[in-house]
Every structure is written in C-alpha cells, then in structure tokens.
Amino acid sequence: MIALLCEKLGPLATLRLVDLAETAPGPGQALVEVAFAGLNFFDTLIIEGKYQVKPALPFSPAGEFSGIVLQVGAGVENVKPGDRVLGFLGFGAARQRLVAPAGALMRMPAGLGLEKAAGLTIAYGTVFHALKQRATMAHGETLVVLGAAGGVGLAAVEVGSAMGARVIACASSDEKCAFAKAAGAEETINVATQDFRGELRRIAPSGVDVVLDPVGGVLTEAALRSLAWKGRLLVIGFASGDVPKIPLNLPLLKGCDIRGVYWGEFTTREPDLNASNMRTLMQLAVRGHIASGPPTVVPLERFAEGFALLAGRQAIGKVLLRT
C-alpha cells in the first residue's frame, strides 16, 4: 500500500512515497480504498508545522477523500463493504488505503461521482457552515467572496449562488474572475488591476451584507469598511500569510460583526448539524448546483505538482490526488 508520508517537518521536498503494510480495521473503524484525496491550502502549512493542527510524525497529508469501503470492524453499522463514501480526517488521506473511524464516513447518494465527492467535504462544508450557521445569510443578500478562484473561494461562489445571494467574486486575474463568473458570480472584481473599494461602492452603493474572507491581508480591512449596517465579515483563514490587525472602531460604527469560522471544531462539537449540512451539499452536487467545475487531478506519484499549485496560488478550483 503506497502512502505519501511526512516523516519530518519541512518543505515539500521532505515528503516521500513509502510502501506500507496494510492495517485491518478495529472496532468502530472501516478500511477504505481511496479513490481521490483532496488537497487544501492548509496542507502546504501542516507539513511545515505552521498549522494549528500538528499531527504526530510520521503522517500523510490530505484531510478529505472519497473511496470504497473494503472492510469494517466490529460495531460498525453506518457503512458496509462496497459502499461508496466520502470522509474527513484532517490529515492522513494521501494513500491508497486507509483505516478511518466509521463515524467520519458518509455514504454517497447515487449520481454523485467519486471525483466530485473527494473535494466536497472541507471547502464546501466550511462555506456552507459559514454562510448558513455563522452568517445566517438570507436570500437576496449581497455576498463578497475574496480569493474567489481558490478551493474555498470557488465553493463560496457556488454555495452563495445556490442560496440565492448576489455574489461579487474577487480574484487576482481576469482568468480567475472569468472562472468565478462561470461558477455563478453576478459581478467580479480583479483586485490586481481594479480599485477594490471603488468597485464595491459602484456595485453595492449601500454596502454589502456578507464578506467571506479565506485570504486575510490588505483586502480584509477594505472589505470590512465596505460592509452595510449589520453586515458580517466571516474570517475563514489567512492564505496570504498575513493576519490583519482590524481597527475595532469599524464594527462599532457600522453595527457589524466579525465572525470566526472554525469548521473543524464545528464538526466535533456539532456532528449532527454537520452531517445535515453534508447531506444538503451532496444533494446540491448531484443536481449540479455546486462542484460543477472540473478539478485539477494529479496522480499520487506526482504529488509535488498538486502542492506546487496550492503553494503558488495557481490553482483554480479543487486539486485532487488520484491514488
């Protein structure tokens, strides 16, 4: 069984493919043949020890996957051998087969392919939780998405559109803006060539209702200043590497909220609500409302290509490892 292993923290060059012995599932566990493992930006951080989750060494990166159940341990009732499943582990999915807690797996509905399902858990789970539970976004509200062509950003464009929001997608090139518009954005802003705040004022003169920010950096404060009364800024992450310092007079003057979104902790604290969210997302995917664009798929043995796309912020949409 071939696995991608991080045996010591460091850059991408420290990762290597290793042939490991297969492990049988214990009580409450399932053995899954992995079809696709989804990569996310945090995978570039976790291998260097720069992420809030620090697994014991050695470990495999990639926190989400799709595959087929091969075997189950004692007491497992929610899945059985032959079931097509998707799952979230936080890390550990970049390998041909894995043993997972059965509770981390969800059976896939008919009509949902393994490739599409592999990238459905983290990015889409995060933005659905952010928009539904954290922002309580209503139909017809205006949603600004920063980093709109990345994995999280593109998911937010699609989910926001499916929820009936007017989506303004912000990205760093015309190509990325066009990709976001094809995914459902009504308006786009090229933050590299256009006046970000000026464009927001033009598009939404009364301010915007929700900003979803997985990027951080210089645009965060400008986005906060563009919120309408009682608007909500959703803090997802800091892909830019810059954690902004926000002047707290802005939320006071605007009566607006800055709301943190920690989806991983949400799945632990509120598993039933997360499972309900995922069922909704899978149905949206089956109907073609989300996860409609083709992902970038690279074979496991060419893992460096996938990581390089994320680290260099060149990825448009989802990056998957085919195991």
pLDDT digits (tens, 9 = 90+) for 37-48: 999 989 999 999
**pTM of this structure:** 0.92
Per residue, what are the HEC states of 194-263? CCHHHHHHHHCCCCEEEEEECCCCCHHHHHHHCEEEEEEEEECCCCCCCCCCCCCHHHHHHCCEEEECCH
Cα 274 → chain centroid: 14
Instruction: For the domain covering 122-264, report its CATH number.
Output: 3.40.50.720
| pLDDT at 3 exceeding the cut of 90 | yes
> Percentage of the chain surpassing pLDDT 70?
100
* Segments of the chain assigned to CATH 3.90.180.10: 2-119+295-322
Range scoring the smallest mean pLDDT among 110-119, 129-138, 152-161, 310-319? 310-319
Tally the C-alpha atoms within 13 A of residue 151's C-alpha that lie toward its C-beta: 31
Question: 129 falls in which pLDDT band (50, 70, 90)?
Answer: very high
Mind listing the pLDDT tens digit for each residue in 66-81?
999 999 999 999 999 9
Q: Identify the architecture of domain 2-119+295-322 in CATH.
A: Alpha-Beta Complex (3.90)
Are 60 and 94 spatial neighbours (Cβ–Cβ below 8 Å)?
yes
Tabulate helix, strand, coil % of the chain (nearest 5): 35, 25, 40
| pLDDT at 240 exceeding the cut of 90 | no
> Percentage of the chain surpassing pLDDT 90?
89
**SS3 label, residue 69:** strand
* Segments of the chain assigned to CATH 3.40.50.720: 122-264
Residue 88: name the closest of 65, 109, 110, 57 by CA: 65
